[in-house]
Chain A
Amino acid sequence: MKKNTVIEDLHRTQETEKSKTYLESVKMQDVARECGVPAAQVYGVATFYTMFSTKPRGKHIIRICCNLACHLEGADSIVDALKGKLGVEMGGTSKDGEFTLEQSSCLGLCAEAPAMMIDGQTYGSLTPESVGKILDTVRKGA
Chain B
Amino acid sequence: MPTSKSHTDKKNIPGGQNRLVLGSVGVINPESIDEYIAAKGYDALKKALSAMKPAQVIAEVKTSELRGRGGAGFPTAIKWAGAANEKGDVKYVICNADEGEPGTFKDRAIMEGDPHKLIEGMALAGYATGASKGYIYVRGEYTLSIARLAKAAADARAKGFLGANIQGSGFNFDLEVLRGAGAYICGEESALIESIEGKRGEPRLKPPYPVQKGLWQKPTVVNNVETLANIPAIVLNGGEWYRAIGVEGSRGTKVFCLMGDLNWKGVVEIPFGAPLSKIIKEMGGGVKKDRKLKGVILGGVSGSLLTAKELDTPVDFKSLALIESGPGSGAIIALDETRSIVDVVDNIAHFFMHESCGRCTPCRAGNEQIVRLIGKIRKGEGSHADLKKLEELGWNMYQTSFCPLGQTAPNILLQSLRKYRGEWEACLAGKKEKCAC
Q: Is the interface of A mostly helix, strand, loop or mixed?
A: mixed
- The answer to whether the Cβ of B143 comes within 8 Å of any Cβ in the partner chain is yes
Question: What's the nearest-Cβ distance from chain B to residue A60, in Å?
Answer: 14
With a CB–CB cut-off of 8 A, which chain A residues contact B105? 108-111
Size of the chain A interface, CB-CB below 8 angstroms = 44
Supposing A72-B333, A105-B102, A110-B265 touch, asked if A8 and B141 sit within 8 A by C-beta, the answer is: no
The number of inter-chain residue pairs (CB within 8 angstroms) is 142
A125-B1 Cα distance, complex, nearest whole Å: 7
Nearest CB of chain A from residue B344's CB, rounded to whole Å: 7
Q: Roughly how many angstroms separate A67 CA and B349 CA in the complex, as a whole number?
A: 10
| A122 at the binding interface (Cβ < 8 Å) | yes
CA distance A109 to B4 in the complex (A): 9
User: What residues of A have a CB within 8 angstroms of the CB of B1 in the complex?
Assistant: 123-125, 130
| Contact residue among A48, A50, A106, A117 (Cβ-Cβ distance under 8 Å from B101) | A106
**Stretch among A37-45, A78-86, A93-101 lining the B interface:** A37-45
CB of A113 within 8 Å of the partner chain:
yes
Candidates A11, A45, A51; contact of B200 at CB < 8 Å: A45
- Which residues from chain B contact A66 at a C-beta distance below 8 Å? 347, 350
Shortest CB distance B162–A (Å): 20
- Candidates B2, B180, B266; contact of A121 at CB < 8 Å: B2
Contacts of B103 in A (CB 8 A): 67-69, 106, 110
Which of B61-69, B124-132, B256-264 touches A? B256-264
Q: What is the CA–CA distance of A44 and B202 in the complex, to the nearest angstrom?
A: 11
Q: Find B351's partner among A35, A41, A68, A120 (CB 8 Å cutoff).
A: A68
A-chain residues with CB within 8 Å of residue B297 when the two chains form the complex: 68
Check B2 against A105 for contact (C-beta < 8 Å): no
- Does B179 lie within 8 Å of A8, measured CB to CB? yes
Identify which of B181, B259, B348, B357 contacts A111 (C-beta below 8 A): B259
The answer to whether A120 touches B143 (Cβ under 8 A) is yes
For residue B100, CB closer than 8 A to chain A, the reply is: yes
Give Cα A7 to B179, complex, Å: 8
A56 to B429: give the CA distance in the assembly, Å: 43
- Asked if B6 and A71 sit within 8 Å, CB to CB, the answer is no
CB distance from B7 to the nearest CB of A (A): 6
A123, B4: Cα distance in complex, Å = 8
- Residues of the B chain whose Cβ atoms lie less than 8 Å from the Cβ of A120: 143
Give the CA-CA distance A113 to B257 in the complex, in Å: 13
- Provide the A45-73 mask, 1 if CB < 8 A to any CB of B, else 0: 10011111000000000010011110110
Task: Identify the stretch in B37-45, B52-60, B191-199, B232-240 within 8 Å (CB) of chain A at 4 or more residues.
Answer: B191-199
Complex CA gap A142/B331 in Å reads 34
For residue A126, which residue of chain B has the nearest CB? Answer: B1
Q: Does B178 contact A (CB under 8 A)?
A: yes
Query: Is A6's CB within 8 Å of the partner chain B?
Result: yes
Pairwise interchain contact B102-A45, C-beta atoms closer than 8 A: no
Instruction: Tell me whether A28 is interfacial, beta carbon within 8 Å.
Output: no
Chain A contacts for B200, CB-based, 8 A:
44-45, 48
Interchain CB contact under 8 A, B199 and A6: yes
Show 30 A/B contacts (Cβ-Cβ < 8 Å), sorted by A: A10-B181, A11-B181, A45-B198, A45-B200, A48-B183, A49-B140, A50-B183, A51-B181, A51-B182, A67-B103, A68-B103, A68-B347, A69-B260, A69-B333, A72-B260, A72-B344, A105-B100, A105-B182, A105-B354, A108-B104, A108-B105, A111-B6, A111-B105, A111-B267, A112-B3, A112-B7, A120-B143, A121-B4, A122-B4, A123-B1
> Contact residues of B with A, CB < 8 Å?
1-4, 6-7, 99-105, 107-108, 140-144, 178-184, 195-201, 257-261, 265-267, 297, 301, 331, 333, 335, 339, 344, 347-348, 350-351, 354-355, 357
Given contacts A50-B182, A110-B259, list 9 more A-B pairs with CB under 8 A: A4-B199, A35-B198, A45-B200, A48-B201, A68-B102, A68-B103, A120-B143, A122-B144, A125-B1
Q: Which 6 A-B pairs have the closest CB atoms?
A: A49-B181, A50-B182, A6-B198, A4-B198, A108-B105, A51-B182
